[in-house]
Amino acid sequence: MVPYYGLQVPLLMDAFFAPRSVAIAGASRSGMKLGNVPIDNLRRFSYAGRVVPLNPDAGEIMGLKAYASIEDVEGGVDLAVAVIPREQVPPFLESCGRAGVRNVIVTAAAFADADAEGARLQRDVEDLARRLSLRVMGPNSIGTIDTSSGLVTSIITLEPVPQGPISFVTQTGLFAASFARWISSSQSHGAAKVACLGNKAGVDEIDMLTYLEGDPRTEVIALHTEGTSDGRAFVDAVSRISLSKPVVVLNPGRTEAGREAMRSHTGSMAGSHDVFRGAASQAGAVQVESFSEMFDCARALAYCPIPRGSGMGIVSITGAGCSLTADACQSSGLVVPALGDEAARAARAGMPDWASFSNPADIWSAIAMEGNDGAYQKVLRAMASQDDIHMLIAVYCVAPQFEFDAAAAMSRVRDEFPDKPLLAVILGGTTEDSRRWFESLEGASIPTYDSVERAVAAAGAMARYSSWLRRKSEAGAS
């Protein structure tokens, strides 16, 4: 990490997300050039700041006045994006230093992730950043996204990403490329900010964690890191931040094949995966093993209150949903408490004498008597009223006979029991029906999954985070 000479990191990082002006080196009058993509994206995201194309031939690019050098730009530049070959990066950084530009994103790859010459060039970038007091994100970075300011520097064509409570900090460009397109097209959770750090010759995950700690739009931080050069600073940052907002961490490289892949990707020299995981867990990080699990857990943490314990209530239209969810709960360290007499009476109210309910609750008989809406609401309420049930999962089967407004029903239960997380599982149905249910439930901020295992994994993550918070609170009180 390049030292920032005692200045406050949050103030220095703003230009990566809400600059008044951004210059794109590598823009061209040829529409096929990658340097033109950020300009097109900035327009699509309605970025209101000044956009400055840089090209040695100057002239006009995409209707904007172009400049031959960043040093020629009157009024200064807050953020420079270098979409240029690796050999041109060091002299461009020197130009930025002379022009007073302090924040630079370097998209070029083939530095320490490639060969000896690339490693030498990366050392040059690090030395220049230190000498010129530059904040460099990259190299091998696809850039940043801020859904509030409309700033997007990705070299991949994107559609506007909806604003949301989760910020993503990663070493992979996927989050400012394919994942950003996926979020914009199908995911209700949106994003607050995205930062792709690449080879971390300057800005690293500790800088970003510190910055996002004070960002009011970020409620959950999702971090993908291939290792950190300062383990103590990382643990200290995660420990501090986790007290106020969850930090979900994906650290690949648990096998030698994975570690070798990281070395060839960003030049990362990861240490012991087990040591990293142990330290991160002690610091309160929510550990995940895949991108899908990262999204699953981040959504649950963003949508739901932190549970007060690990007790799970399960309501399903099918017995298989009950047994599979119970199995998954036990594997994830969650408890499935038996229903007490009071909760059981509330669930059974108005039902025939032969009807009985336990936890998990197969509510097929209740649906036959009261319909989908009434049955789910009644049993969910009964379970939520029991003190040792801290979370609930509703399992739905999508078919014409089971059609009802599940989002409205769950929202009413959530309003009555605001301290208890509710998660939904959708099983079966046509592609169109399943998507419609998903969009309805997620639109109501109810985390929704296509398998009981994914839902339970997210619930387990919330329970572990809750347990860590309680331990920290008890330690502080003693």
Q: Which CATH class is domain 9-301?
A: alpha beta
Q: What is the CATH number of domain 307-474?
A: 3.40.50.261
- Whether 9-301 shares its CATH topology with 307-474 is answered yes
Residue-level pLDDT at 4: 39
DSSP-assigned states of every residue in 254-306: SSHHHHHHHHHHH------HHHHHHHHHHTT-EEESSHHHHHHHHHHHHHSPP
Across the range 170-196, mean pLDDT stands at 96
For 258-277, the pLDDT digits (tens) are: 445 444 444 444 557 788 99
For the chain, give the percent of residues with pLDDT over 70.
93
For 272-319, the pLDDT digits (tens) are: 778 899 999 999 999 999 999 999 999 999 999 999 999 999 999 999
Q: Helix, strand or coil for residue 400?
A: helix
Extents of the domains making up the chain = 9-301, 307-474
What's the pTM value of the predicted model, to 2 decimals?
Answer: 0.92
For 374-431, the pLDDT digits (tens) are: 999 999 999 999 999 999 999 999 999 999 999 999 999 999 999 999 999 999 999 9
The per-residue b/e assignment along 34-71, b for 16 or more CB within 10 angstroms, e otherwise, is ebbbbbebbeebebebbbbbbbeeeeebbeeebbebbe
For the chain, give the percent of residues with pLDDT over 90.
84
For residue 60, CA distances in Å to 37, 55, 300 come to: 16, 9, 47
Q: What is the Cβ-side half-sphere exposure of residue 361, based on CA atoms within 13 angstroms?
A: 34
